[in-house]
Structure 1
Amino acid sequence: MDLDKLRAWWWHRQGLDGAFTGAAPAEVLARTGWARSVGGVNPYLTLFSRAGAGREAVDADVAAVEIHELPAARGCTYVVPAADYALALQVGRHATEADVRTLAKLGVERAELTKLADAVLEVLGADRALDPLALREELGEAVRHLGEDGRRRGQSTTLPAVLGMLQAAGEIRRVPVDGRLDRQRYAYRRWSAPSTGLDDAAARVELARRYFDWTGAATLAHFRWFSGFGAAVARQAMAALDLVDLGGGLFRPADSSYDSFERAPAPRISLLAGIDGLLLLRRDLGTLLDAPDMIRPLPGGRTGERLGTLADLPDHAIVDRGRLIGLWQFDPGEGEVVWWTFGPAGDAVHEAVARTEEYLRTQVGDARSFSLDSPKSRAPRLAALRAAAR
């Protein structure tokens, strides 16, 4: 198997070759995959790297509910296009049962949660948006505090689990208080989400169909990681598709143009978030690294920690036609991208760094990996990358 071609194919199917320049955010997400959202920069960088979309345009589409952050596969939050709202909710809705089971161990019966859910909907009414603090104040004693035992189990009160249940059911949605996707301050409002009209088995097939279109080629293990399905369920969903075996456990859609695809001859550089779909949809970092880079020490890492041993990156990614060639972080105090490439950096890398740096400095302000990321917590990684670059 030609690994350079396969990486470039993944990169092409992810829309990182410029095919979606100027496209609407909803189209990009529908064609290349849902963008993982954890209160960091990934949704913005996903749309900037593929379509050149500015932050204000993305925020406008969020406000218009053309795209929205929803609990989806594995119950994890993704920014999803309107056409996929129903599917995202359906394939992820069972994840909330884990919280229900935890609460049961704390003596909270489902009937109590159902009663609180009804109270939440009543308080929100037809067109109110309330943050969790305001909800707790209005709900009063309907919200039960679960003490130290609950705190240890991640359930201080009964409200968060109920809000999760209502979101998964499509009865409420959470709205960014300041309209931003890289913050985690939300209000909740009532909603009547659309339905797929499919049973769960058919919905799983639809998820598999989208997944293999987004990735271009993946294994059963990759699909299981993304979907959270068990092996038998994932195999059943994949069996309903017309997939072609590429060898090594990889399958691609039969109607794709992989055989005639040619890798771009010149470098095409993208600065991506560390949880960009190119990396996270398959979560198989080793396939994006050349063999010498697999054994390259991680800057600032523990003794013996090498790039090829990582499941996830501690930094954001620099990619050339699907190959991981470097790491980067943003220093908002200096207003600069701090970066390191595994080998000499050509003009294409410098141009991509400058382009992304300008975008972050003028439109976003920072490049947090997740909600708790901050310039202070990032300082060791910034120092490690600066030292490696020297």
Structure 2
Amino acid sequence: MGDGVRYIGTAERRARLGLRHRLTGATRAQDPAGVADSLVALHGTDPATVYLAVGARLADPAKTVAGTERALYEDRTLVRMHGMRHTVFVFPTELTAVVHASTGLAVAARERASLVKSMAKAGAPDAAWLAEVEESTLVALARRGQATAAELAQDEPRLRERFVYAAGKSYEGVHTVSTRLLRVLGVEGKVVRGRPLGSWTSSQFRWAVAPEHPELDAAAAQAELLRRWLTVCGPATEADLKWWTGWKVTEVRRALTAIGAQTVSVDEGTGYVVQGDAGPVDDPAEPWAALLPGLDPTAMGWQQRDWYLAPELRPSLFDGSGNVGPTVWWNGRVVGGWAQRGDGEIVWRLLADLGGEERQPAETAVAAQAERLRGWMGAARVTPRFRTPVEKELSA
């Protein structure tokens, strides 16, 4: 890189990660909304991930379940909705308009077109009929407050109608109108997930009308989302940014220009930070360990991960589709995996070679985090949605 471009090495990137992702003892948050705000988004594909990710970052983990449920379903400071890469996340409510305009609109247009096309191929009613069903469904949902698809079908029976999806393909299936329509409405930002039918580990959700938000300019929203994320995760490469957002490279570059992102040098090549953030950061005052869940936003934050996750560990810690499982962290890098057994015990294994002097303090710190995790989870039992080799082995 040319003169004036600062190099940010692996050790400093790990220090930034620990501090900005609230994983050190001194940086833990006071409430779940603070965690989500710091990380921009919490992965929500596996419902338990949201709570486990919050619990790992709270000063008082005993507040995890009640605090997160209150933020999601009472105070509504957090919202579960579709976001980047057509994935379900939990966002701060104030960010919903930004996410919707920056990533949701383009996906929503494709999803609606796909639904209309699929129904037409199956000989189902036309788009006008679908619009009627949609309107009455939203009215029913507003009246009920929160409802399951089955409950909504009591008010709008046409939601029960079925059609063949992808006829003749290997993934052919029979879908109800409710299954596809509610998904489209979710991506369009008209409905969001409400309370689960069971406990915080349940993946069966009610639906609720989405909170109102202003319609933003797409380019301005992309710039704001990228600024928020780069503040937390910078430095990051263009490949990282394109992967995390799901945008085209032209959109990433436009957003980088709009926020005046600053160029730095990282081991992978050119990286970016927000303006004024290229200077050095202090190392965390104390060594730290963390047990993070599968799909945690830190583990899944970057596409290029060698600086915090050694390639030789990946076969044990990822499933066949690239989903990370539960991970053990020590001072900014992944060093092992963990699992919960049927009796509630939290078990873990170090996979990285830490060396003699480092291994003992790491083991002591990880054991303390395992006890901390078991303490706030209580009687809850969690099996990750996407299971990995080391998690299966440890939980057996």
TM-score interval, smaller chain: 0.7 to 0.9
Report the Cα distance in structure 1 between the residues aligned to 2:395 and 2:377, rounded to whole angstroms.
Answer: 24
SS at match of 1:51: coil
Report the Cα distance in structure 2 between the residues aligned to 1:14 and 1:278, rounded to whole angstroms.
Answer: 7
Alignment check: 8 A CA contact 1:30 1:84 kept? no
User: Does 2:78 match 1:73?
Assistant: no
User: Does 2:95 match 1:84?
Assistant: yes
Q: Measured at CA, do residues 354 and 7 of structure 1 come closer, stay the same or move farther in structure 2, by a change above 3 Å?
A: closer
Q: Measured at CA, do residues 338 and 231 of structure 1 come closer, stay the same or move farther in structure 2, by a change above 3 Å?
A: same
Q: Tell me which residue corresponds to 1:174.
A: 193
TM superposition shift of 1:7: 2.2
User: Does 2:329 match 1:322?
Assistant: no
Alignment check: 8 A CA contact 1:283 1:311 kept? no
Instruction: Show CA shifts across 1:235-271 (max 9, x none).
Output: 1111111222112121111222x52313337531111
Q: Which of the residues 198, 202, 208 maps onto 1:189?
A: 208
Q: Tell me which residue corresponds to 1:101.
A: 113
Alignment check: 8 A CA contact 1:41 1:182 kept? yes
Q: Tell me which residue corresponds to 2:51.
A: 44
Q: Measured at CA, do residues 224 and 110 of structure 1 come closer, stay the same or move farther in structure 2, by a change above 3 Å?
A: farther
Identity %: 18
Report the Cα distance in structure 1 between the residues aligned to 2:58 and 2:375, rounded to whole angstroms.
Answer: 18
SS at match of 1:68: strand
SS at match of 1:279: coil
Q: What are the ranges of 5 or more consecutive residues in structure 2 without an aligned counterpart?
A: 1-6
Alignment check: 8 A CA contact 1:273 1:316 kept? yes
TM superposition shift of 1:136: 2.6
SS at match of 1:332: coil
TM superposition shift of 1:153: 4.8
Q: Tell me which residue corresponds to 1:225.
A: 243
Alignment check: 8 A CA contact 1:102 1:153 kept? no
Alignment check: 8 A CA contact 1:33 1:277 kept? no
Letter in 2 for 1:134: E
Q: Tell me which residue corresponds to 2:370.
A: 356
Report the Cα distance in structure 1 between the residues aligned to 2:313 and 2:192, rounded to whole angstroms.
Answer: 44
SS at match of 2:156: helix
Alignment check: 8 A CA contact 1:315 1:329 kept? no
Q: Which of the residues 264, 267, 273 maps onto 1:252?
A: 273
Q: Measured at CA, do residues 81 and 127 of structure 1 come closer, stay the same or move farther in structure 2, by a change above 3 Å?
A: same
Q: Measured at CA, do residues 59 and 330 of structure 1 come closer, stay the same or move farther in structure 2, by a change above 3 Å?
A: same
TM-score, length-scaled by structure 1: 0.83
Q: Measured at CA, do residues 349 and 114 of structure 1 come closer, stay the same or move farther in structure 2, by a change above 3 Å?
A: farther
TM-score, length-scaled by structure 2: 0.82
Q: What are the ranges of 5 or more consecutive residues in structure 1 without an aligned counterpart?
A: 302-306
Q: Measured at CA, do residues 30 and 386 of structure 1 come closer, stay the same or move farther in structure 2, by a change above 3 Å?
A: closer
User: Does 2:294 match 1:274?
Assistant: yes
Q: Tell me which residue corresponds to 1:285.
A: 305
TM superposition shift of 1:229: 0.8
Residues matched between the structures, number:
369
Q: Measured at CA, do residues 360 and 71 of structure 1 come closer, stay the same or move farther in structure 2, by a change above 3 Å?
A: farther
Q: Measured at CA, do residues 184 and 154 of structure 1 come closer, stay the same or move farther in structure 2, by a change above 3 Å?
A: farther
Report the Cα distance in structure 2 between the residues aligned to 1:89 and 1:101, rounded to whole angstroms.
Answer: 18
SS at match of 1:111: helix
Aligned positions of 1:1-390 closer than 5 A = 1=7, 2-52=9-59, 53=61, 54-64=64-74, 65-91=76-102, 92-103=104-115, 104-107=117-120, 109-141=126-158, 143-147=160-164, 149=166, 152-153=171-172, 156-178=175-197, 180-195=199-214, 197-247=215-265, 248-256=269-277, 258-264=278-284, 267-289=287-309, 293-295=310-312, 298-299=315-316, 312=322, 314-343=324-353, 345-360=359-374, 362-363=376-377, 365-370=380-385, 381-382=390-391, 384-385=393-394
Alignment check: 8 A CA contact 2:136 2:156 kept? yes
Instruction: Show CA shifts across 1:302-332 (max 9, x none).
Output: xxxxx9x998455311112221111122213
TM superposition shift of 1:145: 0.7
Question: Comparing 20-29 with 76-85, which one deviates more in the overlay?
Answer: 20-29
TM superposition shift of 1:381: 3.7
